[in-house]
Structures are given as structure tokens and as C-alpha cells.
Amino acid sequence: MLVQSGRYVAGWAFTLASAATLLVRAHVDDPRRAWLAVRTRWAQTLMKIVDVHLDVQGTFDGPCVIVCNHQSMLDVLAIPAVLPASCVIVGKKELLKIPVLGRSFFASGGIMIDRKDPEGAKRAMEKGLAEMPPGWSLMIFPEGTRSRDMKLLPFKKGFLYMARAARLPIVPVGIDGCNDAMIGNWFIRGGNVSVTIGEPIAIESLDALSVDDATQFVRDAVGEQVIKSHQRRVGCS
């Protein structure tokens, strides 16, 4: 426990230093270029520091809207390690409360939405889409908050709005093991985390469906990836 506590402290120190670097770069360079320069290296290094072993199956092929389940705070730290190089992350406004890290996320071009203000959230998504460079992807946790087990919470529909507006395919992603790698909401004790990247869902295939039916279709696809991740993680534990 003492060793992992040291890893935890070192991980947060590294994260705050990386976030501070990102903040500075975002003010002197294009924010998204600053994010690209820091994101992947930060996330991959952080996972090694806190002794989280990522097992990733599948790849991203071209711009898309990435839809992933949300188990714990660790998802937010681990997912950037596997995202495409050019990707904008959609996050809830509450992230701004995290010292340095929240501000750096916003400064780097992340789309911040207020779950309590649907109209404001829609405006933020519209603005984010308008400013997103051609050929980039979007990533969102559509549950809006954390599910504590493998049961998915209802999906917010913002991801579908953005996918239809941008005419991008939707890629379902399932992550598992983040709860087991945590103690409480903040302490990372380490462990195995599996990520499964599913096959793209053509946005045209969802056009004939109602918003509710299309949302449920994507939710089911994400659920399938979560099960695959869980089965693979349990098999290697």
C-alpha cells in the first residue's frame, strides 16, 4: 500500500506538471496543437506510474464520434492514451473544478457542457463542431456520469446530435476494470484495464431510426464492447 501511495502521489504530480505545461502552450500556440503534443505521452506515462496495465483491442480508422462507457475517474485519465491523434473530447463543466487539469482541458479545445442547461449544452456542441478542424474525431461519455458496474446508465443524446450534424460514423468503445483499479473516487491502486474498440456504425444506417431508437442501438453496441473487455480482463487476471 505504501508503494502504491507513492505511485499515486507521483502520478498526480506528473499530471499537474503536464497540465501546467499544456496551459502555457495553449496560450502561446494553437490550443489543439498543444493538446496533441502532450496528451498521449501524458496518459501513457501516467498509466505506467500508477501501475495500470492497458489492454487495447481494435483500432480507429478515420474521423468518427467515439462513444465510451464511464466507470470511474480513471476512465478520463486512461482513454486519452488510446484515442486517435486528432480528437476533441467532450466533457462536463464540473471538470473545471479539478485544479489545473480542468482548466488545461478547456484551454486545449475541449468542449465543456453543462448537464443542467440543455440549451447551453447544445450551443456548446454547435460551437465545438464549428471550430473542429476537418478530419478530426470527437469523443464523449454519453452516460453523463459514472456507472459503478457493468450496467450502463441511460445515454444522453448529445453524441447522436453531433454525429448526425458532422455526418461522422459512431465507434462504440467499452472499457472495463477502472472501478477495480480504484479505491473510492480518487485513489488509484493499479490493476488491469481492458478497452475494446468496436466496428464503426455508419451514420446513414441510423438516419431512418428515431432519436430514441438510434440512441438505444448505440448503447447496445457499447454494452457489447464492455462485455468483451470484461471477459478479456477476467481471462488475463
Among 197, 198, 180, 181, residue whose Cα is nearest residue 189: 181
Q: How far is CA 184 from CA 71, 139, 189, 195, in A?
A: 12, 25, 10, 21
Contacts of 82 (CB under 8 A, 6+ apart): 54, 56, 195, 197
Burial 63-100 (b: 16+ CB within 10 A, else e): bbbbbbbbbbbbbbbbbbbbbbeebbbbbebebeebee
pLDDT of res. 107? 62
pLDDT of res. 119? 84
**Which residues on neighbouring strands pair with residue 172, listed in sequence order?**
67
The set of cell numbers assigned to 54 is: 492497458
Domain of 189 in residue numbering reads as 2-236
Distance CA 47, CA 32 (A): 22
Contacts of 2 (CB under 8 A, 6+ apart): none
Digitized pLDDT (tens) for each residue of the chain, 237 residues in all: 556 677 667 777 777 677 677 667 666 666 666 666 677 888 888 889 889 999 999 999 999 999 999 988 888 888 888 998 788 888 877 766 666 566 666 666 678 888 778 788 888 888 888 888 899 999 999 986 656 656 799 999 999 999 999 999 999 999 999 888 887 777 788 899 999 999 999 999 999 999 999 999 999 999 999 999 999 998 854
* Domain at 184, CATH number: 3.40.1130.10
- Stated pTM of the model: 0.86
pLDDT of res. 99? 60
The domain total for the chain is: 1
pLDDT of res. 40? 80
